[in-house]
Amino acid sequence: MKIALVLFNGVTFLDFVGFYDVIYRLSLFNKTKDTTWDICGLTDEVTDELGMRVKVNVIRPDLSKYDLVFIPGGMGTRKLKDDTEFIDWIRSAESATYKISVCTGSLLLGAAGFLKDKRATTHPNVYDLLEPYCKEVIKTRIVKDRNVITAGGVATSIDLGLFLIELFVGAEEVNIVKKQLDYPYTAVGIVEV
């Protein structure tokens, strides 16, 4: 599996890192050992809401070449949802098998048209911003509607990663990862439609 991790200025890095720290572990299991990922963006460096910087290793790739495209949230999504250049780039993920977001990354999936006729979620403070883009906003932590998976606020990024570990590998492997992370919690609020 080939994963694109999309970053942008104004991202909330915990949205990204919480997910990444879990999902990179797919490469540790036989079934998914060939999993690779790229940190993607429109520039070679992005800055989060607080000024932290991260280097991007692939600039403006064709997202159709990935099996899974992940978009985190952050205050930057408010402007980017109306940025034609950025949204056109996100639209190149049309053929990606999985389109996944956490927090307000769902606004970007929505602006690209990927949530039309789908149920989705986002950070609880901005359900109203998501409403124009989807069939229904479900006020919960994780929503899987076919090949689109959206997740709620920042801390949900870890639960989202664990949800994908179970989806792609299995429940036993989730328990292994939870032990590695010293993560004693069980996710609640998962809706599959």
- The β-bridge partners of 2 are 36
Which amino acid belongs to residue 88? D
Asked about 40 being catalytic, the answer comes back as no
Give residue 110's Cα distance to chain centre.
Answer: 13
Which amino acid belongs to residue 153? G
Question: Per the structure block, which two tokens stand in for 179?
Answer: 């032990």
- Sign for the pseudo-dihedral over CA of 169, 66, 98, 39: positive
In sequence order, the 6+-apart residues with CB closer than 8 A to the CB of 186 are none
Catalytic position from the list 7, 68, 100, 103: 103
Which residues are known catalytic residues? 103
